[in-house]
Amino acid sequence: MGLRINDTIPNLHVETDQGSFDLHDWIGDSWAILFSHPKDFTPVCTTEFGAVAQLAAEWEKRGTKVIGLSVDDVEEHVVWKRDIEKFANATAGFPIIADKSLAVAKALDMLPADAYLPDGRTAADSASVRVVFIISPDKKLQLSMTYPMSVGRNFAEVLRALDALQTTYKTPIATPANWVQGQDVIVALSLDDAAAREKFGEIDVVLPYLRTTKSPK
């Protein structure tokens, strides 16, 4: 069974192009995004990792570390990063996990269904799908997205989702459809109107169950 929202991610020991470490130690007190891709030296993956590289300042602004994963080895990651940087005109400063054993991909359920059958599949005949995990500083999974190999991810949406998670983290609010940073948020149903006004000040009662307020600073 794969990870569920609010599960603590396993503290796996991983090998990357930037050295080996335990995931929990690498995350530390930061937010983190772990994203897998099928294979190095493939077209969609190169555009995706280029997008991640171009957003380096945005990840840093939000106190968020990013790390990639595929079933390729460290040496391939190192060489492939040159292509990523050439394509994106940006430094790919994030680590990429080398998961030749499939141990991490299996532990985090990052493989398509046919990769688990028959037993004995290896990196030579398997590829991880496009998964995004957003992890909070307490090492819990806050959001997951899974894409098929044919669909590249929209990292502007990943960034938007990160903003929403950080805005609502341990706060009784939620974000509406298509919300972007700075827009009004929804007051949680756990607060009555009086409690909401005491906590947030002015609220707008659109419907008895739909109340909005200014996004916290």
Quote the strand ranges of the chain, DSSP E: 13-16, 19-22, 31-36, 64-70, 96-98, 130-135, 141-147, 173-174, 185-187, 204-207, 210-213
Distances (CA, A) of 202 to 146, 196, 205: 38, 8, 10
Q: Is 129 a catalytic residue?
A: no
69 and 17 Cβ atoms separated by less than 8 Å:
no
Dist. CA 127–CA 145, nearest whole Å: 17
The one catalytic residue among 27, 45, 104, 135: 45
Question: Would you say 97 and 124 are in contact if contact means Cβ atoms under 8 Å apart?
Answer: no
**Would you name the residues annotated as active-site residues?**
45
